[in-house]
Amino acid sequence: MEKMSHESDTVFYFTEIQHAFNNIKRDRIKLSRLREVNDPFEARPTDFSDHETRGTWHHLKKCIDSRFPFICFSKSFRSPLMWAHYARRNYGCCVEYQIKKYCNDEYKLLDIEYRSFVDYPAIHVGENFAKISISDAAKFLSIKNSCWRYEKERRLLVSRNKTGISEEDGHLFINNKEFMNPTRIILGYRSDNDMSKFNNLKELAEKNEIELIYTKPALRGNRIVHDESKNIKLKQILKDNEKNQA
């Protein structure tokens, strides 16, 4: 696996084993559209009662949806809620990526800000957002209600004009080789339940020199931690494999 030569940030992507396998094998990752996200209050203010501007807000959301899909990451792999909600209750995994530290008209990496009362820049009745820029779209996609704070989200905004975006079965994907690489696969503590999928991912990780990390619920505190005993055994297995292939 080619390493990043630029200064980079570490982000974590929770998913299922099969999705992780497909993404790494095909150097791609799924893009989310605004209309697909879990939060029905995304990119709309807490006070949505003004009927005069409500139509303009809907227009704004449609324009962002059509122009700027995004990828949702986290700053940490330790939240049990994230494993429950996005990694199939610990049967899945969390892929650690190194992502280039830069932004331009095609990419923008956002740190989500959480507020109890969400307010955005003022918009005006009839305002046209058909040509909204990535920087302006970011103002509406970088703030969420504080109930989502556990996600510790980082969000990569991508322009639809970017080359490398493809559509498959109604979903958008982007080739990620240019701007980020997987460096570790952090395995849910139940991830070896389906041995066939688990072994396929393990073989792919070895082939691409991606480190595998086992996890477990912490013995003290409500968080997910490395399972050191399993990780030591895994390293020994990998060493033995290398010797046998030599």
Using one digit for the tens of pLDDT, what is the confidence trace for 100-158?
Answer: 877 678 999 999 999 999 999 889 999 999 999 999 999 999 999 999 999 999 999 99
Confidence at residue 2, expressed as pLDDT on a 0 to 100 scale: 46
Confidence at residue 68, expressed as pLDDT on a 0 to 100 scale: 97
Rounded CA gap, 233 and 3, in Å?
Answer: 26
Q: Give me the residue label for tokens 């003290």.
A: 220
Q: Going by C-beta distance under 8 Å and a sequence separation of 6 or more, which residues neighbour residue 237?
A: none
Rounded CA gap, 227 and 218, in Å?
Answer: 9
What's the Cα-to-Cα distance from 157 to each of 46, 72, 107, 151, 167, rounded to whole Å? 23, 9, 6, 17, 17
Q: How many domains does the chain have?
A: 1
pLDDT score of 218 more than 60: yes
Domain-embedded: residue 240:
yes
User: pLDDT tens digit string along 157-178?
Assistant: 999 999 899 999 999 999 999 8
The identity of residue 206, as a single letter, is E
Give the domain extent around 156: 8-245
Confidence at residue 242, expressed as pLDDT on a 0 to 100 scale: 67
Domain-embedded: residue 103:
yes
Domain-embedded: residue 159:
yes
Domain-embedded: residue 2:
no
Q: Which helix (H) or strand (E) holds 134?
A: helix 134-141
Domain-embedded: residue 170:
yes
Domain-embedded: residue 71:
yes
Q: What three-state secondary structure class fits 165? A: strand
- pTM, rounded to two decimals: 0.91
pLDDT band at 19 (very low <50, low <70, confident <90, very high): very high
Domain-embedded: residue 1:
no
Domain-embedded: residue 174:
yes
Token pair for residue 209? 């020199």
Confidence at residue 238, expressed as pLDDT on a 0 to 100 scale: 67
112-115 CB contacts, 8 Å cutoff, 24+ apart: 112/142, 112/143, 112/144, 112/148, 112/151, 112/152, 112/153, 112/154, 112/155, 113/142, 113/143, 113/144, 114/143, 114/144, 114/145, 114/146, 114/148, 114/149, 115/143, 115/144, 115/145, 115/146
Measured on CA atoms in the order 20, 23, 27, 28, is the torsion positive or negative?
Answer: negative
